[in-house]
Amino acid sequence: MFDEIRDTLRQFSSRLDPDERRRMGSGMREAMVHAKLAIQDMRTTLATTESRLKTEQAELDTVRRRQGLAAQIDDAETVAIAERFAAQHAERVVMLESKRMVQQQELELAEREYDAMSADLKRVVSGFAPDPSSPEAAAAREVDALLSDDPAAAGVDLPPPPASRRSRADREADAEARLAALKRQLGK
């Protein structure tokens, strides 16, 4: 999720010049603030989903209660309508439960990545640089190539952006597609 910030941290850690480290440190702290704000947004979105889930569960319970009352008085038309609405609410509950699970996992992942980046930033600010042959140094070279005018000329073969760099709409569309596939599998 925060690959760009982590790559910048690695680039930052490969340079030990104290003046440059201080200058870039403020930018990295700002990036960490933006990452923290993104995590707060994820928490807010998760809370909204949980609220919608509670509302749908309450609606489902209400419809089922009404269905039972209609069945007790032999009102077939009301029972049929209640069955239709119960199916709709049950489907929404399943979808929201899946969505909540995905959002919880995404939040946990982002929090772990933020903690790791924070530890990396502390290490870098203290002046420790990685071994030039380490993966961190290679990542720093890749970032340097990205920042150059022509990354291809620098000899860096860039992979496609990871799923974590996709837009929120793309991730939500993917989640919806997966949910639809799961519903087909379950026969709903």
| pLDDT of the residue at 23 | 63
Domain edges within the chain: 3-156
| pLDDT of the residue at 158 | 46
| pLDDT of the residue at 153 | 46
Q: Quick one: which of 147, 136, 146 has its CA closest to 15?
A: 136
| pLDDT of the residue at 94 | 94
Q: How far apart are CA 178 and CA 98, in angstroms?
A: 10
| pLDDT of the residue at 115 | 85
Taking a C-beta distance cutoff of 8 angstroms, is the pair 180, 17 a contact? Answer: no
Q: How far apart are CA 61 and CA 65, in angstroms?
A: 6
Residues (pLDDT < 70) of the chain are 1-27, 124-166, 186-188
| pLDDT of the residue at 104 | 93
Taking a C-beta distance cutoff of 8 angstroms, is the pair 59, 89 a contact? Answer: yes
Q: CA of 100: how far to CAs of 47, 48, 107, 181, in Å? A: 9, 9, 10, 17
Measure the N-to-C terminal CA separation of the chain; round to a whole number of Å: 33
| pLDDT of the residue at 32 | 81
